[in-house]
Structure formats: C-alpha cells, structure tokens
C-alpha cells in the first residue's frame, strides 16, 4: 500500500525543517516514493528488477545534506545509518570492514521494530504486571485491610476479591510505590564469560551460537530480594514484555525492513576519491571504493540476525568535492549513483530563515531553553539580520561551515544569559541589532575571527 506521503508532500515536510535546497529535496522525495511504488507491485515479475536510484549530494558542509537524509528516514520510519567514508580508508589497521554499515543498519531496524512490538503489547504487559503485583501484595496484609472496610469474613473468596480490589485502587493511585515486597530477581552480574569475535566478517552466526551455548551452561540464577513496588513494577513489566514479544518475528521483520526500506548515508565520499597520483593514500582510497561497490551493486551480508540482501537499500552519498570531483570516483561506483544534485551555498537571507522559520529553529530552541530559568527572549527582525550578516561574513573569511556557524554565534551571543540567568529574569531580553553588536563587539571588530569562534 502506498502511504499518504506523495513527493510534493515529502518536500513540504522537509521544508518545515530545512531551508532551501529544493533540487535535493525533490530527488530524495522521488527516491522514497519509488521504493513504495516498488513494494506496492506485489507479485509483479519486475518488482525484484527495480533497483533504487542512489543519490550523490554535492555541496559544502552545513547546507543540509545529512539533515535531508535523516529527516527523510524519520518521516518514513525507515532504518537509517550515517557513516563516514574516511573511517574505512585503513581497513585492517584502524578502520572497519565496510559491511559493518549494513550490520549497524540491521541493529537500527531491530530497535525500530522492537519498539513497535512493545507498543502493541504495552496494555497486556501492564495488565499482567498489575496482577502479579497484587499476587505479591495479597499474602501480606490484604485480609486485615479488607476487613477494615468490609464485613466479609477473612479467608473467603469474596474477601480475597475485595482485598484485590482495594489494593488495585491503591496501586493505580500510586499509594503503594514505596512498600517493600519480596521478588525473585536475577543475581547481580559477577564474573562473566564474554564471547566476542572482534566483529570478524562472516563470524556473527558462530558468535551467536557460542553465546547461546554459554547461556545454557551458565544460566542466570535468581535470588529473592526485597524491593519497592516501583522497582518491582519495572522488573515484572520487562519480564512480561519478553514473554509477549516473539523475538524471531522481530528479527525477520527487521531484516525485511532493512532490505526494502533501509537508507545508508555515506558522508565525506569525496575524501575517498582518487586524484590520479600513484601514492599509497590513493591506493587506499580506491580500495575502499571497491569494497563499497558490491554493497551498492547488491550483495548478501551476514549479520547476527541473518543474511541481508543489499539490492534494494537506498544509498545516499555526500561530499563537498572541493578538490576532487565525482568523476574521480571509480567508474563502476559512479554508475551506481545515477542521480547527482548540487546543494547551493547559503546566502544571508538563508541564515535569517534558518534562525526563525524551521520547526526546530535555533532561535526557538534558545527561547525554550532559557524559559526554564524564567528568561524571556524576544527576537526582532534587526537581530536576525545582524546574526545572519556575522555568520555570512565569518563563513566568507574563514572556513565555510554553513549553518553550523550559527550554533557558535548564538552560543557566544547568549553566553551571559546562560551563565547568570537570574540577572535577566526580571525583564524581557530584546534581541535586536544593538544587542547583537554589543554582545559580539569584540568578534565584529577583530579581523582574525577564528581567534574567537572556530
């Protein structure tokens, strides 16, 4: 079934969080919708032949590349992982094998699916937890407390029912949270035998078997301990959840989600582009490209939750490509990223919009944070413009880090308010041009801005 998210609606949703970059938003929106269209084909013979159109985003840092991919995955409730291509440049020394990105993606999928199963089982688990708590409480004083409020003789079935009702009301009202009960709990972990195969590719299944075998040899022992009702509720609730949830189903569904809706965001891909020299660094870079290639082309990766096919995983790569270009990647890898979109550098007007328009705008974040200290911040248009001008100027003079520059400027701007908020809680703090220039005067005057904000 196709979701309600049509490409135009996906772009509108992304617009609520990310300023500009219409071409990149449109590309990812179409890619996401095409995956849903493929899944909606059902048993159509072409379903397995339709592969995702992977995307390369080209643009400087801080313009929204990662945020577009992350927001896309969040709205689709899809497994998502971000990896840095540079961490694979020294595989066998300090890097990890590239297949680890797929294993990490599966683990993300397991968390998503488990959370959904837990939500479905929540009501039943809470009901069972309440009954078990009542079983713990009734052997104590229920009969006495029941006779205080009823004329039913202690020990009768009616008496027990009334006692449970009384304790049920008290439990739900939170009146028994500090009462102690005896409960069987796993013993505190002592010396444990740990089996880890150092993430050796292909050894996940063996690792699982070894852990299961050791779990059978050294089963967890339980001991009776006195705990409060609040502590007992948490422990019992987790036990009941474990009984209600079928972990095999979670694993199977997680693998399916990974294969059909998973998104891998490979950042800094320009750093592994070979620039034509014969030195060893470029050999290393090209080696990483060749290691990534099978995953993008479609292969099977062994994970601890079973084999995962990568044929229909969406790969989004990103890089600034200041020194190298996309054509410096090996031809086979270029061919697997047919869609290329350029993200534009941010202008002054963009910084103003970033400060105030998105749902999670930085100005709104600082207003919310400092409102907890009774500090009311009011932004004026001139304040936004002054901050944007400083950000644009600093990015022009120094390394261009895009919207991330706003984080450092605002942190410096509100340093006094954050440090001694009690001094500013009496009156509204008006953030206008005069306020910004006063607070950041040292930075504005100084030509070598990197001394103050990196």
Q: What is the pLDDT of residues 206-245, one digit of tens each?
A: 555 555 555 555 556 777 888 888 888 898 999 999 999 9
Give me the CATH number covering residue 286: 3.40.50.300
- How far apart CA 243 and CA 70 sit, in angstroms, is 33
Residues 265 and 338 in one domain: yes
Asked if 409 and 362 touch (Cβ cutoff 8 Å), the reply is no
Q: What percent of the chain has pLDDT over 70?
A: 81
Q: Which residue has the higher pLDDT, 303 or 279?
A: 303
Domain shared by 136 and 60, yes or no: no
> What pLDDT is attached to residue 120?
92
Q: Is residue 2 part of a domain?
A: no
Phi, psi of 303 (to 5 degrees): -125, 170
Domain that holds residue 183: 115-252
Q: Containing H/E element for 31?
A: helix 22-39
Q: What is the pLDDT of residue 146?
A: 36
How many residues make up the chain in this entry?
A: 454
In a domain, 130, yes or no: yes
Q: Do residues 130 and 140 both lie within one domain?
A: yes
Distance CA 414, CA 268 (A): 32
Distance from chain centroid for Cα 93: 28
Q: How confident is the model at residue 395 (pLDDT cuts 50, 70, 90)?
A: confident
Q: Which is nearest to 164 in space by CA: 195, 203, 130?
A: 130
Task: Check whether residue 98 and residue 85 sit in a common domain.
Answer: yes
Same-domain pairing of 236 and 278: no
Q: Among 316, 342, 368, give the residue marking a domain's end.
A: 342
Residue 41 and residue 121 share a domain: no
End-to-end CA distance of the chain: 49
Lowest mean pLDDT segment, chosen from 173-177, 392-396, 445-449: 445-449
Query: Biggest alpha carbon distance in the chain?
Result: 95
Asked which of 342, 363, 396 is the last residue of a domain, the reply is 342
Whether residue 181 is found in the same domain as residue 120: yes
Which of 293, 313, 342 lies at the terminal end of a domain, its last residue?
342
CA angle 368-371-375, nearest 5°?
135
The pair of structure tokens assigned to 308 is 């995962």
Residue 398's CATH number? 1.10.8.60
Q: Give yes or no: residues 168 and 247 share one domain.
A: yes
**Helical (H) or strand (E) element with 171:** helix 157-172
Q: Are residue 381 and residue 337 in the same domain, yes or no?
A: no
User: Are residues 330 and 358 located together in one domain of the fold?
Assistant: no
Strand partners, 58: 319, 342
Strands 429-431 and 377-379: parallel
Q: Is residue 1 part of a domain?
A: no
State the Cα torsion 60-64-66-72 to the nearest 10°. Answer: -150
Structure confidence at residue 426 as a pLDDT band (50, 70, 90): confident
For residue 396, give the nearest of 441, 355, 449, 436 by alpha carbon. 449
Domain count, the chain: 3
How high is the pLDDT of residue 94?
A: 42
User: Same structural domain for residues 55 and 103?
Assistant: yes
Residues 120 and 79 in one domain: no
Edge-first strand order for the sheet with 263-267 is 80-84, 263-267, 314-319, 55-58, 339-342
**Is there a domain that residue 393 lies in?**
yes
In the block, residue with structure tokens 């034509």: 276
């Amino acid at each position: 079934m196709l979701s309600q998210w049509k490409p135009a609606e996906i772009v509108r949703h992304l617009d609520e969080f990310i300023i500009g970059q219409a071409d990149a938003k449109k590309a990812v929106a179409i890619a996401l919708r095409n995956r849903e269209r493929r899944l909606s084909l059902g048993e159509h013979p072409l379903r397995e032949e339709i592969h995702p159109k992977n995307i390369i985003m080209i643009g400087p840092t801080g313009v929204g590349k990662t945020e577009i991919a992350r927001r896309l995955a969040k709205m689709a409730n899809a497994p998502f992982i971000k990896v840095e291509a540079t961490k694979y440049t020294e595989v066998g020394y300090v890097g990890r094998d590239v297949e680890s990105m797929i294993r990490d993606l599966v683990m993300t999928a397991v968390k998503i699916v488990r959370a959904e199963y837990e939500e479905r089982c929540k009501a039943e688990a809470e009901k069972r937890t309440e009954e078990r708590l009542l079983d713990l409480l009734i052997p104590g004083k229920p009969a006495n407390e029941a006779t205080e409020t009823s004329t039913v003789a202690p020990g009768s079935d009616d008496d027990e029912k009334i006692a449970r009702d009384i304790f049920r009301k008290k439990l739900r009202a939170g009146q028994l949270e500090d009462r102690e009960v005896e409960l069987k709990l796993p013993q505190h972990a002592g010396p444990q035998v740990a089996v880890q195969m150092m993430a050796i590719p292909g050894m996940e299944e063996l690792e699982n078997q070894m852990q299961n075998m050791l779990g059978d040899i050294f089963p967890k022992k339980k001991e009776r301990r006195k705990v409060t009702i609040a502590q007992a509720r948490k422990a019992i609730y987790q036990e009941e959840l474990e009984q209600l949830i079928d972990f095999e189903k979670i694993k199977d569904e997680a693998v399916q989600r990974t294969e059909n809706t998973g998104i891998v965001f490979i950042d800094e891909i320009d750093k592994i582009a070979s620039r034509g020299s014969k030195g060893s660094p470029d050999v290393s870079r090209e080696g990483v490209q060749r290691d990534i290639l099978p995953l993008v082309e479609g292969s099977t990766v062994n994970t601890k939750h079973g084999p995962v096919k990568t044929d229909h995983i969406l790969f989004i790569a990103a890089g600034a490509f200041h020194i190298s270009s996309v054509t410096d990647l090996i031809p086979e890898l270029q061919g697997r990223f047919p869609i290329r979109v350029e993200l534009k550098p941010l202008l002054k007007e963009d910084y103003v919009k970033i400060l105030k328009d998105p749902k999670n705008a930085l100005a709104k974040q600082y207003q919310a944070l400092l409102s907890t200290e009774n500090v009311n911040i009011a932004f004026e248009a001139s304040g936004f413009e002054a901050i944007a001008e400083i950000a644009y100027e600093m990015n022009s003079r120094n390394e261009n880090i895009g919207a991330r520059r706003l984080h450092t400027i605002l942190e410096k701007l509100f340093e006094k308010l954050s440090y001694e908020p009690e001094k500013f809680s009496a009156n509204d703090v008006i953030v206008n041009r005069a306020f910004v220039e006063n607070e950041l005067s040292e930075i504005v005057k100084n030509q070598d801005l990197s001394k103050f904000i990196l």
